[in-house]
A and B are shown apart, each in its own frame.
Chain A
Amino acid sequence: MNEPIDLGNSFAEAVAGFGIPADLARVLWMPIPMLVVILSASVAVLLSVWAERKWSAYMQQRLGPTVAGLNGFMQGVADGAKLLVKEDVIPRKGDPWLFTFGPVIIIIPIFFAYLVIPFGQGLVISDLAIGIFFFVAISSVAPIGALMAGYASNNKYALLGGLRAAAQGISYELPLALSILSIVMMSNSLSTVDIVNMQSTHGILSWNILKPGVGQIGFVIFLISALAETERAPFDLPEAESELVQGHHTEYSGMKFALFYLAEYANLVLGSLVASILFLGGWSFIVPMGTVANLLGIDPLDPAFQVFSALLGIVMTIAKATLFVFLAILARWTLPRVRIDQLLDLGWKFLLPLALFNLLLTAALKLAFPAFFGG
């Protein structure tokens, strides 16, 4: 695709028709994709909450929510509305400022990280040159929020939960970053758009998960670390219900708790999107769109075909991300929780050496077969 869709320019041109200068049109354009992303992330959260409740119910021979909305579809909205009007309790001997900023610091980086998620060619808020590094960097901020929330609650369970969250966040940041680094090595770029473009040359054959050896090792490392980063079972130690009641969430109620809740699912969706971008070729279809166009005898630059392939790209991204969300939900409702020392052992003694080995293997393979490993 030589000249992909650029919605920003099209918008600028359209507005220019009303006599508004191009610079101002650019400024007018800026908030639109941001709003769209925030809204779609929130909708994704609602959908994944619904999906989790329904899927987990079916796994457990229950029905799950059925009353609110069609088949319980609006249950997330109902929960949100309940939390919105619920009394906001701040522990008297807690630290009100840290207590308030804890959930805020957890949720803001997650929405920031959506900046670099491409949903299709040109459908990304900002194609940063350091895209995926930005994701790694900004997602390391969240443990600070958990620690703040745990400390400020003046509750022993919350403190233990906050400390666990910090330890877990630090331990799994490294294997996560290293497994991403080997992908970056093969893609010759940190930009998320370039990483996907690198995988869309030969359809499914060029997806990173099918790179012999390094793709699969990196995929497993990324999946485990991302699951641990999102603090979901079997790695939900910071809020382990049977041990710490609710961990650093214990003292929260109302909207602040809703922020934690939102952050958990937004993080899950974010991790799934990143996994699909890094390993399953993001928006790319199983065969390259150019080939499809040639087969159907359509000009790839035909506007209708461009719109179709953009829509297909969005659908592919969401479908791949849904696969990962499903995997995470399946794991959560199947596996017991690991213990804190086992968790840290797994991170530091297994995943980190494996990730380093994977990095070396990637470098070696890249030198040996530059044609296959993005030389």
Chain B
Amino acid sequence: MSMIETRADRMVLSLGPHHPSMHGVLRLIVTLNGENVEDCEPVLGYLHRSMEKIAENRTIVQYLPYVTRWDYLATMFTEAVTVMAPEQMADVKIPRRASFIRVIMMELSRIASHLLWLGPFMIDIGANTPFFYCFRERELVYDLFEAATGMRMMHNYFRIGGVAADLPYGWVNKCRDFCTYLPDRLEEYDRLITKNPIFRNRVEGVGVIEQEDAINWGLSGPMLRASGVPYDLRRAEPYEIYSELDFEIAWTTEGDCLARYFVRMKELRESIKMIEQCLDMLPGGPYENLEAQRIAGGPKSEWNGPDYQFIGKKSSPNFKIPAGEHYIKVEAPKGELGIYMVSDGSMSPWRWKIRPPGFINLQVLPEIVKDMKLADLMAILGSVDIIMGEVDR
């Protein structure tokens, strides 16, 4: 006798690389049982541009325009880590003013990055309007960048030994204006988003990562701090002048999408605090190492010599990276952005290994989306905050 049996076919859905909420060109092969996600496999490589290999036949200055294309929403961090690696290997001292300018730029970049995380995250869970508000604020950050660096996104502003140009006249006041403007807007977001019951239902308890898992998966940044690990490189291993700044590490223990939202919103406020402190403490003086040495050496300084003057048809002297290897890391908005550099003493690195936070954080996605709904997959993916430019490099 034949029995009537029910058989549920699994639907294998290829989300992406062309899909509205795949944050660029991520492709997820999702196995669906009805609306439930049974399995999820990320497929990477659609934006691979050989960023590590390119570094091996460029000098650092030649390579700097490329690095803003890793994480194109938090560009200052990629530049910072690129120049900090050879600086530390060659023991190049940075003038204090340059260090402050770098920190201000990095924190502004963190604000821009977190704002452009919030907008698409809200679109992922179906609210379109916050995106435009986030862009309105981000535009002001980019205006500041444009005034200081000449470019809005791909600034190419950091140099070994300092920054490419000093802050223009009036920039500090404009930056202060922005610091007084943004907190009110963040209050606005709180009223629009945080207190919205539909938003809370969509993200609360969704995509939970336990503390131990977060550490074992090697997560970093807000993903780690939302799971109850108050680990921030700015505090744990301070670089530049972070040790002089007064700020709190944003962290919570829930480990869900809402916790990651809170951590990032808190980081926005902390960044504002840090920028204000930097603007208060901003010293005068040279903004670049050679400039500093030239001023210190007086008119007879070797940096005033013919080698370092601009003479047509004469190529400027090159910077050779000392032989050796070094790992350098900064706390980027997405997590720990690291460079492992091996040099054989030539002008370009022998090996240039990038540790992108988005790539490492993305690994945990298949684990936390199991048995969630398809709509949760988008909320979780949004809360991970990936940029395919740095995931694929």
Contact = CB atoms under 8 A, between A and B. Distances in A.
Interface of A: 56, 59-62, 156-157, 160, 233-234, 236-237, 240-243, 245, 333-342
Interface in B1-51: 11, 13, 19-21, 32, 35
Contacts of B376: 339
B171 interface: no
Given A59-B129, A333-B128, A338 B123 contact: no
B223 to A, nearest CB: 20
Given A234-B126, A242-B125, A340-B35, A335 B198 contact: yes
Contact of A243 (B122, B128, B196, B374): B374
B20 A241 contact: yes
B8 to A, nearest CB: 13
30 contacts: A59-B129, A60-B133, A61-B133, A157-B13, A160-B32, A160-B35, A160-B374, A234-B126, A237-B375, A240-B375, A241-B21, A242-B20, A242-B124, A242-B378, A243-B21, A245-B20, A333-B128, A334-B127, A335-B126, A335-B127, A335-B196, A336-B198, A336-B199, A337-B126, A338-B198, A338-B202, A339-B202, A339-B375, A339-B376, A340-B375
B130 to A, nearest CB: 9
Contacts of B125: 242, 336-337
Nearest to B376: A339
A231 B125 CA distance: 16
A210 to B, nearest CB: 27
Interface string B230-248: 0000000000000000000
B323 interface: no
A156 B12 CA distance: 9
Interface string B178-198: 000000000000001000101
A42 B192 CA distance: 34
B132 interface: yes
Nearest to B30: A156
A39 B45 CA distance: 52
Given A61-B136, A233-B126, A342 B201 contact: yes
B273 interface: no
B373 interface: yes
Interface string B109-135: 000000000000011111111001100
B63 to A, nearest CB: 36
Nearest to B22: A242
A339 B373 contact: yes
A59 B374 CA distance: 29
Contacts of B11: 156, 160
Given A156-B13, A336-B198, 9 more contacts: A60-B132, A61-B132, A241-B20, A242-B20, A243-B21, A245-B19, A334-B192, A336-B122, A339-B376
Interface in B313-336: none
Contacts of A156: 11, 13
Nearest to B19: A245
Determine the main DSSP class of B at the interface with A.
Answer: helix
Contact of B123 (A234, A236, A242, A339): A242
A270 to B, nearest CB: 24
A241 B128 CA distance: 11
B20 A339 contact: no
A242 B13 contact: no
B126 A240 contact: yes
A156 B29 CA distance: 13
Contacts of A340: 35, 373-375
A237 B202 CA distance: 13
A16 to B, nearest CB: 57
Contacts of B19: 245
A341 B373 contact: yes
A306 to B, nearest CB: 46
Contacts of A243: 21, 374-375, 377-378
Nearest to B193: A336
Contact of A337 (B127, B133, B136, B192): B127
Contacts of A245: 19-20
B202 A333 contact: no
A245 B374 CA distance: 12
A64 to B, nearest CB: 12
A199 to B, nearest CB: 32
Contacts of A62: 132
A144 B268 CA distance: 48
Nearest to B13: A156
B59 to A, nearest CB: 43
Contacts of B196: 335-336
A236 B126 contact: yes
**Which of A59, A61, A156, A337 has the largest count of B CB atoms less than 10 A from its CB?**
A337
Rank and list the top 6 A-B pairs by shortest CB-CB distance, nearest first: A337-B126, A242-B21, A60-B132, A336-B127, A336-B126, A339-B375
A247 to B, nearest CB: 12
Contacts of B21: 241-243
B264 to A, nearest CB: 17
A334 B126 contact: no
A95 B114 CA distance: 45
Contacts of B199: 336
A333 B126 contact: no
B183 to A, nearest CB: 19
**Which of B132, B373, B375 has the largest count of A CB atoms less than 10 A from its CB?**
B375
**Which of B125, B126, B373, B376 has the largest count of A CB atoms less than 10 A from its CB?**
B126
**Which of A243, A338, A341 has the largest count of B CB atoms less than 10 A from its CB?**
A243
Interface string B44-64: 000000000000000000000
Contacts of A60: 128-129, 132-133
A245 B21 CA distance: 8
Contacts of B374: 160, 243, 340
Given A339-B375, A340-B373, A242 B126 contact: yes
Contacts of B377: 243
B202 A336 contact: yes
A338 B202 CA distance: 7
B198 A234 contact: yes
Contacts of A237: 375
B32 to A, nearest CB: 8
A163 to B, nearest CB: 8
Contacts of A233: 126
**Which of B128, B133, B196, B201 has the largest count of A CB atoms less than 10 A from its CB?**
B128
Nearest to A240: B126
A335 B11 CA distance: 30
A337 B375 contact: yes
A237 B192 CA distance: 21
A334 B374 CA distance: 22
Nearest to A337: B126
Contacts of A338: 198, 201-202
